[in-house]
A and B are shown apart, each in its own frame.
Chain A
Amino acid sequence: MQFGSVRGARKVFLAKERGGGATEDLVALDDASFDFDEGEFVSLLGPSGCGKTTLLRMVAGLTPRSGGSITINGKDVEGPYGDYGFVFQAPSLMPWRTVLQNVLFPMDVLKRNDSAALERARELLALVGLSDFAASRPHQLSGGMQQRVALCRALIHAPKLLLMDEPFGALDELTRLEMNDLLLKIRKETRASVLFVTHSISEAVYLADKVLVFSRRPARVVEQLSVSLGYPRSQAVRFTPEFTQAERRVSEALGILAPTAGAGVH
C-alpha cells in the first residue's frame, strides 16, 4: 500500500536567506518525484550537496519546500508532524540524560512516558544490544553505540516512518556493516518505512528495496532502481552476482561507470 508520495518537490534557497554575501539563488533540489509503500526501504543516493538531505528534511516538514507536494500517510506535509523518527548524522544525544532517558526523550515531549514506554525502551535497547548500558551516560559510549541509542530514540514512539540522514557516515567500516545488519533487523521488527540518505553505493543497495539516484546540483532524481535481493539479507549477499549487478546499475546511474551493453534496461 502506498504510504508516501513526493511530487515535483523543489527547493530554492534565496540569496537573501543564504547570507554570507551570496548574490544568487541556489537551486538545491529541482523536481524530485517518487512514491514509496508502507514498510518499504528507500535509499537516497547521490553526490555531496545534491539536496538529498534537503529532501529528507522537507519530508520531515523541518524545511519548507519551494514547490511541489509531499503527502505522507494520506496527509499533506505542512510542517513537522511528529509521526516519524529522525536519525541525524551525529548521534546528538543529551549528555545530561542517561541512555535510557535519552531513548525516552520523545515520550517526555509527547507526554506519554508511562510504564509501557519504559518497557518498549528496554526492548529497543535489548534489540540493539545495549541493555547493560541503560544507566550509562552518552559520553561513556563509543560512536557506534551512541548511534544505536539515537536509533532507539527515533523508534520509541513507534513511528510509521524512519528518516535517516547519513546515520552511519561517521562510523568505521566494520561498525557500519554491523549497523546495517542491525537496521535490517530493526526494520523487520518495526515494519516502518525508511528513507535513508547515504553516500555509499554498497550500503544503499544492501539495505534498500529501492534506490533513488540523484544528479549533481540542481539535483533531480535521475533513476529509481528496485533492488530484487531477497530477505533475510546477510553480509554473504554482498558477494553474489545479483548484488554486484545492482551496484553496477547504481554506478551507471550515478555516471561514474559507462553503461555496458544490456545493462540499464530494467
Chain B
Amino acid sequence: MMTRNNLERIVYPLLGVVIVLALWQLTCVLWKMPEAVLPTPMNVARAIAKYWPALVSEGWVTLKATLYGFALALLLGIPIAVAVSLSSWVNLMFYPLLVALQSVPKVALAPILLVWLGTGIESKLAIAWLVAFFPIVVDTAAGLQSTPRDLLELGRSLKATRWQVFSMIQFPAALPYVFTGAKVAVTLAVIGAVIGEFVGSSDGLGFLLLSATSQINTSLAFAALFALSVLGTITYLMVVAVERALSGWLPLPPPRH
C-alpha cells in the first residue's frame, strides 16, 4: 500500500522534472532556438534512442576509467592517511606537501599527464585518481585524528598495543569519515575521467561530447551529457549502497564539511 508520505516522495520530484522539461520546451519554441544551440527535450530523447549503443559503449569506457581511478585513490589514499595520522614525522614531512598539492588545479596537470601516459586509459585513470585522491586522504586523516578521547583512554587503560588501538578503535571510528571522503571522491573521479577525455582521447563520453559539438550535433552532445549525469549518479549510489550495507557499523551521522 502506498502511504501518503511515499506518494509525496515520488510525485513531487517527478513533478519538478516535468516542470523543468516543460520550461525547456517552451524556451525552445518561444524564442525559436536553432537546433544547434539548444535542442528541445524531445530531440535530445530522440538522440539518446538513436545513439544508444554508442552512449553505452563510450559510457562503459568512461565508467572504467572512473572506477579504476577511484579504486586506486582508495587503495593509495587510505594507507597514506594512516601513515600521516599515526606517525608524527611522516605527518610533519608530507602533510604540508599534500595540502600544497591539493591546491594545485588538477585540470592543469592533464596535459602533462597526457605527455607522460599517452592517450589511452592510463592518462584518464591518472587524472581521475588525482582528483579523487585528496578528499579521501584528507577525510580519512581527519577521521583518524578525531577518535573519541575516552575510547583511546579505554585502550590505554587496558594496555592495548598500538596495532590494537588502531584496528579496534581508531580505524572503525574513522569509517564514517572515509565514506564522506569517498562520496566526494567518486563524483570528482567522473569529472577527472571526462577531463582526461577532453584533453586527449579517442573514446569515452567526454570524447563523444567533444566530437558531437565539433560536428554541431548538439542533440548528441546533450545526450552524452545526460549519459554522464546517469554515470555520475550510478557511481555515487554505488558508494552509498556500500555505506548502507555497513550501516549497522556506522550509526554515526557522517561528519559535515
Q: Please report A residues at the B interface, Cβ cutoff 8 Å.
A: 60-62, 80-82, 84, 86, 88, 90, 92, 94-96, 105-106, 108-110, 137-139, 157
Count residues of B near A (Cβ-Cβ below 8 Å).
22
- A96 touching B250 by the CB < 8 A rule? yes
- B150 touching A88 by the CB < 8 A rule? yes
- A92 touching B154 by the CB < 8 A rule? yes
- Cβ of B252: which chain A residues have Cβ within 8 Å of it? 95
Mostly, the B contact residues are helix
- Of the listed residues A62, A92, A105, A109, the one surrounded by the most CB atoms of chain B closer than 10 A to its CB is A109
Closest-by-CB residue of A relative to B160 is A109
Is B249 an interface residue, CB under 8 A from the partner?
A: yes
- Cβ of A61: which chain B residues have Cβ within 8 Å of it? 157
- Cβ of A82: which chain B residues have Cβ within 8 Å of it? 157-159
- Cβ of B78: which chain A residues have Cβ within 8 Å of it? none
Inter-chain residue pair count (beta carbon < 8 A): 55
Q: Please, how many angstroms separate the alpha-carbon atoms of A105 and B158 in the complex?
A: 10
Partner of B251, one of A60, A62, A139: A139
| 8 pairs, CB–CB < 8 Å, chain A vs chain B | A62-B153, A62-B156, A82-B159, A88-B153, A88-B154, A96-B248, A110-B158, A157-B158
Q: A92-B148, A96-B250 are in contact. Are A109 and B158 (CB under 8 A)?
A: yes
* Extra contacts besides A137-B251, A157-B158 (18): CB < 8 Å: A62-B157, A80-B156, A80-B158, A82-B157, A82-B158, A86-B157, A88-B153, A92-B148, A92-B151, A92-B154, A94-B151, A95-B249, A95-B251, A96-B172, A96-B173, A96-B248, A96-B250, A109-B164
Is B200 an interface residue, CB under 8 A from the partner?
A: no
A120, chain B: closest CB distance, angstroms = 16
Q: Please, how many angstroms separate the alpha-carbon atoms of A223 and B172 in the complex?
A: 45
Closest-by-CB residue of B relative to A139 is B251
